Structure 1
Amino acid sequence: MQDIQQSLKAHKLTQQDFKQICSLLGREPNLVELGIFSAMWSEHCSYKSSRIYLKGFPTKAEWVVQGPGENAGVIDIGGGIVAVFKMESHNHPSFIEPYAGAATGVGGILRDIFTMGARPVASLNSIRFGDLCNKNTLGTKHRYLLRGVVKGIGDYGNCMGIPTIGGEFSTESCYNGNILVNAFSIGIAKKEEIFYGRAEGIGNPVIYMGSKTGRDGLGGAVMSSDSFNEHSASLRPTVQLGDPFTEKLLLEACLEIFKENLIIGIQDMGAAGLTSSSFEMAGRANSGMRLHLDRVPMRENNMNPYELMLSESQERMLLCAKKGCEKRILEICQKWELDCAIIGEVCEGDTMELLWYDEVCAKLPISPISENAPILQRPVKIPQYLSQTTHKQVGFHPSHSLEEVFKTLWNSLEISSKQWIYEQYDSSVQGNTYRSNEGDASLLRIKENGVGLALSIGCNPRLCYLNPKEGAKRAVAKCGREIAVLGAKPLALTDCLNFGSPENPEVMWQFKESCEGIKEAAAFLQTPVVSGNVSLYNRSDDMEIFPTPSIAMVGIIQNPNEAMDAKFKKVGNALYLLGKNKLEFSGSLYQKYCLNELMGDLDPLDLKAEQQLWKCLYQGIQTHCIQSAKEVGSGGIAITLAKMAILSELGCKIQLDVAELFSESPSLAIVEIPQDRIQDFERITKEYGIHSTYLGYILKESYVQLNDIRFKIKDLRQTFYHHFVEIAQKL
């Protein structure tokens, strides 16, 4: 009995789990079977704590080809072409081993894309760290983590020849013990050539292809379903090691196999490796499967069934081939210098039978493990901290001068250019990048049908901490708004829901509320959720991260040459604010850096106003009334105008109440209007019911004048492009 208890503890299984396992099997499990249950019923693989709140996400629209449930979501972008995209986390591995963790995070999300039959064409990322500016060992550690993560992302993507064209970065002390690394990728395919992760057809062979299996990554899925503590450094062996050059070969081999129509289904061996891929493929098709584990290509000596089933070695795929096509698949793999072996076949029934040199080493029912894992309804409780934060009125302090606040915010890490990061990513490879890393959305030309895809990613975790539901709604709206200021139409989104421990009722309340916010915003704004990921246990000792529901959105513009940018165009043109500035400071940069607090609540987001703003921007850009545009984000109007100025080298003169300059109300955009088109512009704003405010005009002089204070563009550029570099490179 003592041995069983120790085994259950090592596998993060409860006594209740063990009873359920024994009931399913009619006996006690052996070690291989226990390991399989542990991986498949882990939080990372089963979503057992989160699944009840993921129901009800809007997932359908006329342009949605495939929603959640497969390796990635698929939307129709015209001309028989589809876009395939998803976002996933690699938080825990990246904290333990930043370079390898971030690199394999990129590799994993790319495999999710080309597993669907699509060639990856671009990547984004969202990365969050702790106190980088801290002068003690904490700051040194996070600067080390930052450098490792950025190099891991850059090296893997660059070696694969896939451009990284945008991203998001932020720092908060809540990430001191648990950084976040979220990776997004998008690929392109013909609509009729999408492949799915299913193993069906009795007698069809199951084929292993890719790298050999080693012991790296053992227990990765289980590790990602636990919190960090002082012993977390010992988890390094659970972090996978990636090889982008092998993945490039795997990509090309898979696409060749797809082109020749040799398979029924395919699945990446990601979290839980051969276990998850085999059980999920069989489970989706209601099939059985038999695997001969001794036939799996092995990288190390004396490996056993337990290790082969749970290894998370990278760059591996599991195929369900059409009977008779085995030889051709083996030839293609040999051509691309990949290991390949027929390791099993699809069977009748609902049983996974694992053999080791012709002896059964595990025999398990498939659907209870893959499709019907335990669902937990964990306790929820409104966080205690909200009783202190929500009743605090937050405004602009009268003692703060315009010049003081502007310089403080402009010098912050959030505002400073992340060029040091982006320069390590190849953003122009493949030759289809129209715009990257300039703020707002990135833009990609799709050569197959000529359209442009706008990609945005973001979330303000401070807002989600103060009000998880409204913060999540604003994350959806902001990503859509960044696409709308380009003149593109937002179509669909993927999410990566990063939260603390589900064993904490306050965290589960945050999760529940955030899901409701995404559901409400995505449904109203007609941007369905087509794929996603949940990452829980993002905590260290007693510190939970802020709720961080990262959103990545995809939009379309028919002619990418007509996309709008944020550069001022002509001296004398008028600058207007679209939307109502409601003087909101809760969770703002002003509050963080000038008041050193995080207090207040968020007003409900007016989704109708947000939707109308998108339509107004689209119409204004289509009719050429609007000649530059930028959504108002962190730092408010003052910071947004300064960014527009340094992009164009033209100045501007603005007259506005000081508080209005730094407010961070949602649903705002700044637009440039030619003097002879102002009446047309006013007609459009009236048509869509959008409030507009005249701010000022564009100057030929190289300064930004806010009321009576002038800031030289030369000085603004110097700070903007150099401050972050100095911090990031500091040892």
Structure 2
Amino acid sequence: MSLSASDYELVVSELGRDPTPAEEALFENLWSEHCAYRSSRPLLSAFDSNGKDVVVGPGDDAAVVALSDSVYITLGIESHNHPSYVDPYDGAATGVGGIVRDTMSMGAYPIALTDSLYFGPFEDEHPRYLFEGVVEGISDYGNSIGVPTVGGSVVFHPDYEGNPLVNVACVGVVSPDRLVTAKAQKSGNALMLVGNATGRDGLGGASFASEDLSEDAETEDRPAVQVGDPYTEKLLIEANETLLDEELVESARDLGAAGLGGASSELVAKGELGARIELGSVHQREPNMSALEILLAESQERMCYEVAPENVDRVREIADRFDLGSSVIGTVTEGNYVCTFDGETVVDVPAEYLAEGAPMNDLDSVPPTPPKETELPTPTLETAFESVLASPNTASKRWVYRQYDHEVGTRTIVRPGDDAAVLAARECDGERGIAIAAGSNPNWTSLNPYEGARAVALEVTTNLAAKGATPLAAVDCLNGGNPETPSVYGGFKGIVDGLADMCRTLSVPVVGGNVSLYNDSTSGPIPPTPTLAMVGTTTEYDAPPLGFPESSEPGTILLVGDHAVASGRTPRLGGSEYLAQFDGTDAFPTPPEETEATGFIEAIASVATDEHTRAVHDVSHGGLAVTFAEMISESRGAEVTLTGDENGAGLLFHERTGRAVIETTAPDAVQAAFPDDTPVENVGHTDASGELTLTVNGERLEYDAGTVRAIRGVLDRELE
């Protein structure tokens, strides 16, 4: 590890001397792209982070928003991309552990996880190996610590071949009186480590995450990947609750990127204070560790607490009760950030300069070149329907989410596999629910980063609205390739601006997030990928199902928001799974305008809670073909008629967002609920046949529910 020449000169100028080896390594990690956001921070001001419900915005371990006057929820998201390529099991598992500890450090109890995963082609051996390892790592860790994984997404795309993405979000619950931040409070307080002993795993993880993956990354970078212990994490969760119950924590930060050096220096820098730390006091699991190793190891399941001197013994007692290690490693001071080891001062630097002094990068940016449009493919409608439904991207993800214990904690109302998960907020008066949705679509953002990101934001918000939820706030995980490549940086800028603009349109504050750049390998850069995780609130526990429920009477099927069907005009197919299956390109369809999008979301949320509404499902990946396929069952079928486009493919497979399918017994009331500029079309009815009948421009397709389930069961067939 070493600083660049320009950064080294800055450090020498600030310190008035050459840095020690430990200082140089500390600056190299804390000034890395992963920690300092040197390339992305200049762009992030595009986001609106303020709102009436926002309590803590960007900059802490997790954001905090008010669910009510007496109940807050925390929301955070993290990436563990490079580690999951090198070691998919441990890389994904420790990603879960890290975002859970981010939640704990705010004083919150973690109640739910989502995972958004991106891999190379499913049919290729290595991406499938990574996929299976990542899912196993997430399930083993999440199930063991008792935090349900309730939602997310899985995408396969050739441009993730050499660099998968693993983005994990966590939601927690905290009362206002238990809220803790990562801002040191008072000089003279003790700094304590609680949790696992420190080893040599994860050394240089922050700098490793700030460079392109090499061809030999799976062997050369293995020491930079942490090893998780979920059973210790569970003990740490419960110990953290006890410490909060007894009001023993003044501030807290989990040990993640850059280990002890990162957590402790950032903690005191936020309080405009310093620290004096004796590295030899850190409880260790390996002999003869050096000062640099103790300082930068990213061993998991560790928390750094600021504790008043009179409470130190009680914190030790609680740690012992939960079979956790603990050590007093130093004190908060009003001076520099100082670390000593074996009687020698190895670090003596201004804390704020270390944590916040990294210079920002001024990088060239050019819009990426859009792909050349090709002649649209013309397979038969039957061939296209079966190909799109059988794609791993639109196929059932049951194989994934059935490995997660999504009901542990007994809060889960709406389970995985729906548009959004809903959990009971039992701390609130009445039947209040917390809705959670997360995901992205690289087919959209690779074609048009700006419009694709706008579409992602609208789709995730629609997922919440389909459950009757009002959005509260969002966090994002912004994934990109090497920002030093102007077209890559231009694409990254596009997804930032696109997310920011649509979230602003929908009045959803973006209260925090994560940036992961240098997702580049020998196979090239990843697509610009803006994972968005959003929370909303419902006024009751009941939510309309995604699928058509059993009923003795037919229901009316309404298609809302689809101007192509309403006008008979030909829709754009750009970014669709249909074109991905048949090697075609087309311009990406522009999402709705501001007033149209806002009115659509408000109306969907309102209609979803209406007593006459039987089912609501958004239309996105795979278009209407996948939407209707997901809504039927052995006991409930549908007869649907679509007219307009010449060959029918545009009607059935286009993926313009801002659309939904609704089953209702009061179609006139639904029509009245939507703005005049939002089309509401009666496209058919439900029945008890258990069959899907699609008539598209006179061409008739018929499939029973069992056949549809079999077509969409590719993951189950291939992986079991």
Q: TM-score range by the shorter chain?
A: over 0.9
Decide whether aligned partners of structure 1 residues 223 and 577 sit closer, same or farther in structure 2, where only a CA change above 3 A counts: same
1:209 corresponds to 2:198:
no
Distance 1:688 1:436, change over 3 A: farther
CA contact (8 A) 2:634 2:690 kept: no
Q: Which amino acid aligns with 2:559?
A: L
How do 1:272-671 residues align onto structure 2 when only pairs under 5 Å count?
272-349=258-335, 351-383=336-368, 385-386=369-370, 388-389=371-372, 392=373, 397=377, 399-449=378-428, 450-541=431-522, 543-570=524-551, 571-582=553-564, 583-594=571-582, 596-603=583-590, 605-646=592-633, 649-657=636-644, 658=648, 659-671=650-662
Provide Cα deviations, 1:676-723, integer angstroms capped at 9, x if missing partner. Answer: x233222223x5642111111112212111112211111112222x31
Residues 255 and 303, structure 2, Cα contact 8 Å, conserved in 1: yes
The separation in 1 between residues aligned to 2:8 and 2:642, in whole angstroms, is 68
CA distance in 2, matches of 1:566, 1:606: 29
The answer to whether the 8 A contact 1:578-1:669 is kept is yes
User: What do the CA deviations read for 1:322-346 (whole angstroms, capped 9, x no partner)?
Assistant: 2211111111111111111111001
Distance 2:101 2:527 in 1: 29
Q: Give the partner amino acid of 1:574.
A: T
* 1:679 and 2:663 aligned: no
Contact 1:626/1:672, CA 8 A, preserved across alignment:
yes
Q: 2 CA distance for matches of 1:272 and 1:539?
A: 22
Query: What is the aligned partner in structure 2 of residue 3 from structure 1?
Result: none
Whole-angstrom distance in 1 between the partners of 2:317 and 2:163: 44
> What is the aligned partner in structure 2 of residue 4 from structure 1?
none
User: Could you list the per-position Cα deviations for residues 180-220 of structure 1 after superposition, in whole angstroms to 9, with x for gaps in the alignment?
Assistant: 00111111110221100122311111111110000000011
Is 1:263 matched with 2:249? yes
Q: Secondary structure at the match of 1:561?
A: coil
- Shift in Å, 1:59: 0.6
- How many Å separate the matches in 2 of 1:53 and 1:192? 34
For residues 375 and 309 of structure 2, what CA distance do their matches in structure 1 show?
67
Amino acid at match of 1:431: T
The answer as to whether partners of 1:206 and 1:343 remain within 8 angstroms in 2 is yes
String of CA shifts for 1:599-654, please: whole Å, max 9, x gaps: 42442542321211112122323332422110001111122111101386333343
**Secondary structure of 1:153's match?**
helix
Question: What corresponds to 1:107 in structure 2?
Answer: 97
Q: Is the 8 A contact 2:57 2:511 kept in 1?
A: yes
Cα deviation 1:22-52 (Å, max 9, x = unaligned): 1111111111011101110011000011110
- Distance in 2, Cα, partners of 1:409 & 1:568: 25
The question of whether the paired residues in 2 share the 8 Å contact of 1:127 and 1:170 is answered with yes
Q: Structure 1's 51 and 498: CA in aligned 2 closer, same or farther, altered over 3 A? A: same
Task: Determine helix, strand or coil for the equivalent of 1:330.
Answer: helix
Question: What amino acid maps onto 1:636 in structure 2?
Answer: G
Contact 1:267 1:277 in 2 (8 A): yes
Residues 302 and 435 from structure 1, CA distance in 2 versus in 1: closer, same or farther, beyond 3 angstroms?
Answer: same
Distance 1:259 1:166 in 2: 30
Report the residue type matching 1:316 in the other structure.
R
Distance 1:604 1:483, change over 3 A: closer
Once structures 1 and 2 are overlaid, which stretch shifts more, 525-534 or 414-423? 414-423
How many angstroms does 1:131 deviate by?
1.5
> Hey, what's the Cα distance between the residues in 1 that align with 2:375 and 2:426?
49
Higher mean alpha-carbon deviation, 224-233 vs 269-278, is at 224-233
Report SS of the residue matched to 2:394: coil
Q: Partners in 2 of 1:645 and 1:482 — Cα distance? A: 19
CA distance in 2, matches of 1:90, 1:623: 41
Match of 2:14 among 24, 49, 73: 24
Of 184, 191, 210, 1:225 maps to 210
Q: Does 1:147 align with 2:132?
A: yes
Match for residue 241 of structure 1 among 212, 216, 227: 227
| Contact map agreement 2:263 2:304 (CA 8 A) in 1 | yes
Contact 1:567 1:647 in 2 (8 A): no
Aligned partners of 1:198 and 1:284 also within 8 Å: yes
What is residue 568 of structure 2 aligned with on the other side? Answer: none
Q: CA deviation at 1:357?
A: 2.7
Q: 1:189 aligns with which of 149, 174, 177?
A: 174
Normalised by the size of structure 1, how large is the TM-score?
Answer: 0.94
Q: Give the direction of change, closer, same or farther, for the CA distance of 1:529–1:647 in structure 2 (3 Å limit).
A: farther
CA distance in 1, matches of 2:155, 2:663: 29
Map 1:111-126 → 2, pairs under 5 A: 111-126=101-116
**Which one-letter code corresponds to 1:660 in the other structure?**
L
Deviates more, 1:51-60 or 1:238-247: 51-60
Other structure's SS at 1:169 match: strand
| 1:415-474 residue CA offsets vs partner (Å, 9 max, x unmatched) | 211111111110111111111222311111111113111110111112111111111111
Aligned 8 A contact 2:591 2:658 in 1: no
Asked if the contact 1:296/1:341 (under 8 Å) is kept, the reply is yes
- In structure 1, C-alpha distance between the alignment counterparts of 2:690 and 2:215, rounded to whole Å: 52
CA contact (8 A) 1:463 1:602 kept: no
The RMSD of aligned alpha carbons is 1.6
Of residues 82, 94, 98 in structure 1, which corresponds to 2:88?
Answer: 98
State, as a whole percentage, how many aligned pairs show the same letter.
Answer: 34
Give the TM-score normalised by the residue count of structure 2. 0.95
Distance 2:181 2:13 in 1: 32
Aligned counterparts of 1:688 and 1:195: Cα–Cα separation in 2: 47
| Structure 1 stretches lacking a partner, 5+ long | 1-9, 134-138
Q: Which residue of 1 aligns with 2:61?
A: 71
Question: What letter matches 2:472 in structure 1?
Answer: L
Q: Helix, strand or coil: the match of 1:515?
A: helix
Pairwise CA distance, 1:564? 4.7
Pick closer, same or farther for the CA change 1:648–1:440 going to 2, 3 Å. farther
Q: Distance in 2 between matches of 1:635 and 1:156?
A: 32
Q: Does the C-alpha gap of structure 1 residues 647 and 310 become closer, same or farther in structure 2, counting only changes over 3 Å?
A: farther
Structure 2 unaligned regions, length at least 5 = 565-570
CA distance in 2, matches of 1:688, 1:600: 27
CA 1:44/1:28 → structure 2, altered by over 3 Å: closer, same or farther?
A: same
AA of the residue aligned to 1:656: T
- Match 2:153 to one of 168, 182, 189: 168
Residue number among 693, 708, 713 corresponding to 2:681 in the alignment: 693
Q: 1:101 and 1:92 mapped to 2: Cα distance? A: 8
